[in-house]
Structure 1
């Protein structure tokens, strides 16, 4: 069934501080196998206000997996195989702007990818694709998330650039000042290549970046420490769950494919001639790119 003729299934990728969704009804965990390896965890299936939902803890339950070792390809592929059509990504971040204080939620619209050791595409030798990342997130989802955040009283900032660093160490002061000079608003370790892969899989994707600290640039604040971050994470996690519970009922009204074009992102991306395509790779891509293959 094509996305345009099916009801939305909302996927939530929970980051630090968000390891489950208590509001889901008919909850059950299910193992979804992926040809790209092991996802971070089983997927939690359920419904919220009649909307089918799938939740995946990015770091696994108990926060077992560091950012650079998350199998982002397996995670996105598994969500696609589970029928997910739109993804809400929730993640912790540091702030580069005084106005974006800890506790603020930033609805991201751009990324700078500084990760260096991660698989960043489903495609490769035998089936080459070049997909546009000019507008890396779904503006339609972003609009709904902003409205929902304001409705429940969350301090929210619409728009901003997320600098994705490799980690797991936090920034040096020199790095922090460099990224601020580039005009970035927040910094995190997990949204790349996640956003790129979601685009390749033709899924709507939006990032809710939850500020936990000021990185290390701010002269009036201590260097980033895990204990301080965890305290803010717990508060942010409660707000994130409230945000999701508010936005999901609004999202069930989509009757056609995403107006922002997310569900047809591969229309002009494949460049390998049909007769030259690797059948083994094509089989692996059955879920991700089956619509165009």
Structure 2
């Protein structure tokens, strides 16, 4: 078992993967995380898990305490986070059931606390490459090992939620070159970077955004029921991929620069 724990943020059902599990509330200077931190073993690795929306899905996307979630994992020694996301697709090649490893995001949210540095201490971190390339590479190997259909690059559009987009909005976002839609990918990735944590998104497509109009992909609006049903159908796939990827984690240092994200970022 490696010494450094691994963080997972996602749906509450992932808790069932943990062996020898225990639950603890970790209070941070930014408040309480969305749920108790559930700790245990997966594939021989120590894991700390937070249910992003709460154990009873009581926190909508715009009300999640993202800072407390990241801070709680950081204080527990987590320096690598795998975040699972249910995403809608704006790309006809990315269909329900596909895994997506986003490498870029576009933020269309507002009013979310998206920095740990509210002043007087100020930093300007780079987010040119917001998702850890080494974790994405490891996850790609895991998806190939499991024989799962996946996409190794994608632009994740993060919307405010909790509503789904209008058809007009989706057409604009489609024409801008976005691939998938999430309501929670931001500001998680940025906050993790401010703490020097390697962060990646393991997305799974649950629905097609209503911009594609063909015999294969009729232009139907997304519904929460469809998203939930497709998420539930994909749960076993997600847990299998997590097990495979955690089995690949080693004690060797990643060759990414996530841990150095704050170097030169402080305003003197």
What's the TM-score once normalised by structure 1's chain length? Answer: 0.87
Instruction: Provide the C-alpha distance between the structure 2 equivalents of 1:26 and 1:268, rounded to a whole number of angstroms.
Output: 41
1:166 aligns with 2:141: no
How far apart are 1:89 and its partner, in Å?
A: 0.6
- Counterparts of 1:115-264 in structure 2, within 5 Å, are 115-219=109-213, 220-251=218-249, 253-256=250-253, 258-264=254-260
How far apart are 1:54 and its partner, in Å?
A: 0.6
Equivalent residue of 1:22, what SS? helix
Instruction: Provide the C-alpha distance between the structure 1 equivalents of 2:144 and 2:219, rounded to a whole number of angstroms.
Output: 28
Which residue is 2:7 aligned to? Answer: 11
RMSD between aligned residues: 1.3
How far apart are 1:106 and its partner, in Å?
A: 0.3
Instruction: Provide the C-alpha distance between the structure 2 equivalents of 1:37 and 1:19, rounded to a whole number of angstroms.
Output: 24
How far apart are 1:238 and its partner, in Å?
A: 1.6
Contiguous gaps of at least 5 residues in structure 2: none
Equivalent residue of 1:187, what SS? strand
Which residue is 1:288 aligned to? Answer: none
Contiguous gaps of at least 5 residues in structure 1: 1-5, 273-293
The answer as to whether partners of 1:10 and 1:84 remain within 8 angstroms in 2 is yes
How far apart are 1:207 and its partner, in Å?
A: 0.4
1:71 aligns with 2:65: yes
Give CA-to-partner distance per residue, 1:189-228, whole Å, 9 cap, x none. Answer: 0010110000001000000111111112122142111111
Which residue is 1:271 aligned to? Answer: 267
Which of residues 75, 98, 122 in structure 2 aligns to 1:104? Answer: 98
How far apart are 1:68 and its partner, in Å?
A: 0.2
Give CA-to-partner distance per residue, 1:36-82, whole Å, 9 cap, x none. Answer: 01210001111123211111110011211100000000100001011
**Range 211-220 or range 89-98, more displaced:** 211-220
Which residue is 1:49 aligned to? Answer: 43
